[in-house]
Amino acid sequence: MFGRPARRAIAALIDALIAGAFTLLATPLPGLVAPFVPPLPYPVPLFLLPFAVPVLYFVVFPATRAQGTPGKRAVGLKIATLGGDRTGFFRSLVRFVASLVSIAALFLGDLMMVWNRKHRALHDFIAGTVVVEAKTRPAEIAWSEPPPASWLARLGGTAVYVGVAALVVLLYRGPLHGDLAAEINEQNMQQALPVVEALEAYRQKNGRYPDRLEALTPGYLANAPQLAERSALSFAATPAGDGCWLAIVYWRHAGFLPSDDVHEYDCRTREWTTLDYNEMHATEAPR
C-alpha cells in the first residue's frame, strides 16, 4: 500500500525529465513574451520563469485532486496526509522545500524510506505526508500499520543508496570533468598572477596603469599568459590610469556545467572577487 523506494525513484526520474524539459522550454521565453505580457500590479522579473516552473510543478500537482506529480501518477502513486486527506497547497509547499534539503545532502533524506515502515522520506516527516498507492482509501492510510522491513531489505536498500551516491561522485569527478575543471581554474589563476605583478611594476615606474595589457610585454612581462579551455583575460583601466581591473573570463566552477562567473582583480584594492559576467568592470573599454 505504501510507496516503496524503487517505485518512488522511478517516479522521481520521470518527474525530473518532465520538469527539466518544461524548464528548458521556459528559459528562452522571457525575451519573446515580454512585449505581449499585460501590465501587472507588481513588477515580476520574467527571468524568474525558469525557476518558477519546477516550483509550480512539484507544489501545485500534489495539491490538486490528482494528489501527485505526473511521475507519481504514472507509477500508480499519490501523496496524502497521515490521515489520508489531500495535502493542500501549503503542506505541498513545505514538502517541496524540505525535499530540497534532502537533495542538497545527496538525497540522504530519501535513505530514511528504507528504514521506516511507511517508507517516508525526510520531507514526508517534515510535511506530515505519506506516499501510497493511488487507489488507497483515506481510512486505510490512517489506520494501517505495516510490518517493519527485514534487516536484509534495510541493509540491501542502504547498500543500493551508497552505490548510487558513490557513482554520482565518481561521475562528477571523472567523466563530468570536475577534477579537470578545478585544475583548469587553478592553472588560469597561476597564469594571471604574473600579470598582476607586471601591472604593479608598470604603475610604480610610470605613475599609472597601462591602457592595454599589450603594453606589459616584453618590458614587464616576458610572455603573454596562456590560459586554458576557452578562458581569456579581460582588462580595463580608468581614464586617469589610477585604477584597473583584470578578469579571467569564462572562469569555471568545478563541475560539468559552465558558470558565467568571472574572477576579477581590482588594482586599487588589490583583491580578487568573483562577479557575474555582466557585473565585471573589465568589460569596459579603456577611455
Consecutive 10-residue averages of pLDDT for the chain (287 residues): 90 92 68 46 58 88 93 95 93 94 85 92 95 92 87 91 83 63 81 93 95 91 80 89 89 58 90 85 58
Question: Residue 34: its pLDDT value, please?
Answer: 45
Find all residues with CB under 8 Å of 127, minimum gap 6, and list them: 87, 91, 92, 94, 95, 98
C-alpha cell at 158: 542502504
- Rounded CA-CA distance 13/107 in Å is 13
CATH 3.10.20.30 fits 178-283, yes or no: no
Confidence at residue 95, expressed as pLDDT on a 0 to 100 scale:
95
In Å, what is the CA distance from 101 to each residue of 37, 115, 122?
Answer: 34, 19, 9
Q: According to CATH, where is 3.30.1300.70 located in the chain?
A: 178-283
C-alpha cell of residue 47: 527571468
- The C-alpha atoms of residue 157 and residue 285 are separated, in whole angstroms, by 58
